[in-house]
Structure formats: structure tokens, C-alpha cells
């Protein structure tokens, strides 16, 4: 375990405890927008470890400012044999699904994807600043982006194929329920 270079953001907890899982479910069931989920996940970032490949070290940055212009909900960093690897996380409301009843992508989903695209564009233009001044070692504009939106129960089974196809171009779309599943050690599309 090596907490450096960001000891204040290091996540020691390997998996959420049964109490964490119960508290998360309670927060999720009572959430009317993404703000309570932002607060809960900032307090218990071990939930994000479930979205990452196997790694020894993991850091979670809650609402880091990218040059003061853009503020992702979370930046995740994990270290493995390839060095530092980054994941961008955008939270959208758990009360609105990724798909409309017609099966078309929702406005909230478009908003989440647009924010990840904006962060990537900013990083392409400011990669040296991000690495040197913001101390985001080896950050890459093409890192995986994850949009967490809605609940699994809101996904109409007849739109399951459309839902899976939303995860493309290095952006993964998933429901809040996915964070309650056992560790998968992957940041692939998989189960919503």
C-alpha cells in the first residue's frame, strides 16, 4: 500500500461493509436528485473500487476543479503495473433513466456524456497544466468516463439492447444499482 502521491485522497477500504451497503440503498431510495448520492459516495468512495480493474492503490478525488473551469463529480485514479490510470465519473439523477419510454437517450444522459466530453476536450488543450500544476500524474484525456444515472428497475427489458449500446467511445453508462453489486474488477459495460 502506497498512499503517495495523494495521501489525502487514498481509499484504504477494500469493499463497502454491509452497513455501507444498507446505508447506500437507503440514500439511493430517498434521493430526489444526485446531490445525496454525491455526498454519500464522497464519504464512502470504496463503492467505486467495484468499477476498477484489479489494483493495489486507489484514490478518489471529490469534485476536483480542472483549471477552475470544469468540475467533475469524481476523478478516480488507480495504480497497477501500467502506472496511474484515470476514470472520470459523472453522476446524474437516480430518478430519471438513461432512456426515455421510447427507448431514445434521455436529456439527462446527453448532459452527462457532454460533461465527460467537455472534460476530455479541456484535458486535450491543457494536459501539461493538469499533470504539472494540478498534480494529476499521467492523466489522459482519453481515460474511461462513467455516467451513473437512474435505477435498474427503470430500464424496460425491451430496450436492454439499446441500453447496452449506450456504453461506447470510452464512456460507460450504468445505473446506481451497479455500485451495490459484488466487485467485478472491470470497467467494462456489463450489467447496467
Helix/strand/coil (H/E/C) assignment for every residue in 68-123: CCECCCEEEEEEECCEEEEEEEEECCCCCCCECCCCCECHHHHHHHHHHHHHHHHH
**Contact status, residue 11 vs residue 166, Cβ threshold 8 Å:** no
23/19 Cα distance (integer angstroms): 6
The pLDDT confidence band at residue 178, using thresholds 50, 70 and 90, is: very high
pLDDT of residue 188: 45
Phi, psi of 82, rounded to the nearest 5 degrees: -90, 0
Q: Indicate the SS3 state at residue 176.
A: helix
The pLDDT confidence band at residue 60, using thresholds 50, 70 and 90, is: very high
Question: Helices 35-43 and 18-30 meet at what angle, rounded to 10?
Answer: 170
Q: Please, what is the Cα angle at 99 between 96 and 104, to 5 degrees?
A: 140
Give residue-wise pLDDT tens across range 63-81: 999 877 799 999 999 999 9
104/98 Cα distance (integer angstroms): 8
Q: Which of 158, 151, 140, 138 minimizes the C-alpha distance to 178? A: 151
- pLDDT at position 95 over 60: yes
**Contact status, residue 44 vs residue 105, Cβ threshold 8 Å:** no
Amino acid at each position: 500500500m502506497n498512499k503517495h502521491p495523494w495521501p489525502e485522497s487514498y481509499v484504504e477500504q477494500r469493499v463497502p461493509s454491509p452497513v455501507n451497503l444498507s446505508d447506500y440503498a437507503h440514500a439511493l431510495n430517498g434521493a430526489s436528485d444526485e446531490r445525496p448520492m454525491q455526498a454519500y459516495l464522497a464519504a464512502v468512495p470504496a463503492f467505486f473500487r467495484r468499477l476498477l480493474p484489479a489494483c493495489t492503490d486507489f484514490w478518489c478525488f471529490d469534485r476536483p476543479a480542472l483549471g477552475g473551469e470544469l468540475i467533475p463529480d469524481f476523478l478516480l485514479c488507480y495504480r497497477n503495473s501500467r502506472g496511474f490510470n484515470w476514470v472520470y465519473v459523472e453522476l446524474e439523477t437516480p430518478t430519471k433513466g438513461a432512456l426515455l419510454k421510447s427507448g431514445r437517450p434521455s436529456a439527462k444522459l446527453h448532459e452527462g456524456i457532454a460533461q465527460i466530453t467537455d472534460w476530455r476536450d479541456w484535458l486535450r488543450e491543457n494536459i501539461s497544466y493538469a499533470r504539472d500544476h494540478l498534480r494529476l500524474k499521467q492523466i489522459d484525456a482519453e481515460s474511461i468516463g462513467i455516467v451513473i444515472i437512474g435505477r435498474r428497475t427503470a430500464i424496460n427489458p425491451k430496450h436492454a439492447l439499446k441500453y447496452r449500446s449506450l456504453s461506447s467511445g470510452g464512456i460507460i453508462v450504468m445505473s446506481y444499482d451497479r455500485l451495490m453489486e459484488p466487485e467485478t474488477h472491470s470497467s467494462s459495460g456489463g450489467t447496467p
